[in-house]
């Protein structure tokens, strides 16, 4: 089949690099499908709109404004303009192509006209939405948007865009059962037949287990203690992750030697963690600015427990892909989120993690005690097995392909 994939993830151009979309596109390619990928070339990269082929995949890079790692003003303008930019590029370079599947994900929710145009030219094609981001409700939850004033105007604009995207999609693949329930409950125009599960996934990577000597070397490299369990948090450090609550949890363990926190990543709230560490001279935490994926994976393997944090205000079920990285590394997971997220219940019910609400430091402390008193090795194995049975690229591929049949 010939498949068009629309994405704002520009790392897709480095297709051999691991990632949820890179792995999926490679899997389609390796199973004999012809992949055509549209992605943005942001203004900062000084690229231009161009069509080229590399590694068995056809790419259409589309020059856009910056839509990542930029000011809110430019990001907002970029998100509004990107649809027109993609549409013009599609008509110019791909207007005569025939597709069997039109594949896309959120974010963004602003590809509706591109999808409609591609569908008009390919009426038999299946338009498949991989729903990763329920916007604008997530922004409403965090106070970024509101129902009133100018923010209310923006909310209504994006909500209408969201509805149009759902309506034009033939199938909607959600990350978990809670996502399916949420989408059907809050969008009554959708039928249950249209919405199903299409999980976040990775292609499993076979790694040799780190030797005790290698683990010691990694701990020495980052100045980590060797006499207590290491709890690692890795990824974005922004408003959605509830960083003030994470800081409160670490602060509550100033005077304990039961564990050590390893915090790795970057984002708008990184400075808050940095100031916290400097002002309080925190001895129970090591803060590391972003690491390349390979280095982060090795560091994770040297730690004992992975952590997920999400802001308690969320009314939508999120499913950060970082959870899968911990599962592949055979690490138990401490899932600290809002109650609408089903990651915690999935982890607990299947024996590879502990849930704690992200609004109670006391509950967090009890969850730490509970997970550290568990059989960490067995929990890690449970998580790896659950990953292999539910979250590999093959599972995502089958969810999409089976929808076409």
Rounded CA Rg of the chain: 22
Let me know: does 265 contact 293? Beta carbons within 8 Å.
no
The two three-digit tokens of residue 76, written as one number: 């907002």
Cα angle 84, 7, 42 (rounded to 5 degrees) comes to 65
Mean pLDDT throughout 2-8? 95
Residue 163: what pLDDT? 95
Instruction: Give the span between the Cα atoms of 140 and 9, in whole angstroms.
Output: 24
| Burial of residue 252 (number of CB atoms within 10 Å: 0-12, 13-18, 19+) | middle
Residue 405: what pLDDT? 67
The two three-digit tokens of residue 9, written as one number: 């993830």
44 versus 157: which is more confidently predicted? Answer: 157
The two three-digit tokens of residue 217, written as one number: 């070397």
The two three-digit tokens of residue 87, written as one number: 């549409």
Where helices occur in 45-200 by DSSP H, the ranges are 72-93, 112-121, 137-141, 149-168, 177-186
Q: How confident is the model at residue 404 (pLDDT cuts 50, 70, 90)?
A: confident
Instruction: Give the span between the Cα atoms of 239 and 234, in whole angstroms.
Output: 15
Residue 198: what pLDDT? 96
Mean pLDDT throughout 11-32? 94
pLDDT in tens, 62-83: 998 877 666 767 777 777 788 8
Mean pLDDT throughout 147-165? 92
Residue 69: what pLDDT? 67
Residue 72: what pLDDT? 66
What letters, b where the CB count within 10 A reaches 16 and e where it falls short, cover 345-364?
Answer: bbbeeebbbbbbebbbbeeb
pLDDT in tens, 186-235: 999 999 999 999 999 999 988 788 888 999 999 999 999 999 999 999 98
pLDDT in tens, 268-296: 899 999 999 888 877 899 999 989 888 99
């Amino acid at each position: 089949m010939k498949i068009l994939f629309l994405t704002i993830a520009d790392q897709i151009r480095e297709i051999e690099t691991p990632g949820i979309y890179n792995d999926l596109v490679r899997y389609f390619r390796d199973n004999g499908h012809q992949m055509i990928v549209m992605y943005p070339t942001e203004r900062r990269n000084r690229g231009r709109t161009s069509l080229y082929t590399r590694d068995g995949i056809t790419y259409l890079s589309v020059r856009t404004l910056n839509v990542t790692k930029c000011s809110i003003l430019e990001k907002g303008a970029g998100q509004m303009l990107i649809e027109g930019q993609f549409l013009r590029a599609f008509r110019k370079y791909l207007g005569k192509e025939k597709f069997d599947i039109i594949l896309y994900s959120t974010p963004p929710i602003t590809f509706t006209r591109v999808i409609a145009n591609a569908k008009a030219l390919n009426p038999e094609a299946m338009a498949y939405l991989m729903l990763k981001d329920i916007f604008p409700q997530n922004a409403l939850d965090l106070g970024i948007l509101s129902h009133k004033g100018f923010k209310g105007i923006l909310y209504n604009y994006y909500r209408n865009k969201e509805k149009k995207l759902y309506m034009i999609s033939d199938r909607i693949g959600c990350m978990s059962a809670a996502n399916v329930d949420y989408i059907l409950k809050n969008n009554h125009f959708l039928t249950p037949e249209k919405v199903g599960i299409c999980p976040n996934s990775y292609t499993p990577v076979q790694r040799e287990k780190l030797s005790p000597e290698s683990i010691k070397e990694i701990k020495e490299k980052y100045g980590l203690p060797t006499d207590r369990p290491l709890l690692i948090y890795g990824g974005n450090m922004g408003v959605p992750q509830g960083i003030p609550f994470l800081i409160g949890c670490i602060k509550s363990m100033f005077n304990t030697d039961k564990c050590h926190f390893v915090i790795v990543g970057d984002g708008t709230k990184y400075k808050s963690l940095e100031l916290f560490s400097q002002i309080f001279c925190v001895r129970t935490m090591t803060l590391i600015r972003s690491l390349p994926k390979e280095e982060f994976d090795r560091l994770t393997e040297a730690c004992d427990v992975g952590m997920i944090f999400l802001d308690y205000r969320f009314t939508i079920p999120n499913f950060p892909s970082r959870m899968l990285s911990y599962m592949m590394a055979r690490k138990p997971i401490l899932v600290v989120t809002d109650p609408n997220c089903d990651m915690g219940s999935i982890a607990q019910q299947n024996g590879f993690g502990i849930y704690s609400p992200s609004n109670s430091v006391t509950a967090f402390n009890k969850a730490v005690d509970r997970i550290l008193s568990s059989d960490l090795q067995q929990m890690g194995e449970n998580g790896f097995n659950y990953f292999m049975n539910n979250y590999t690229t093959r599972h995502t591929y089958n969810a999409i392909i089976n929808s076409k049949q």
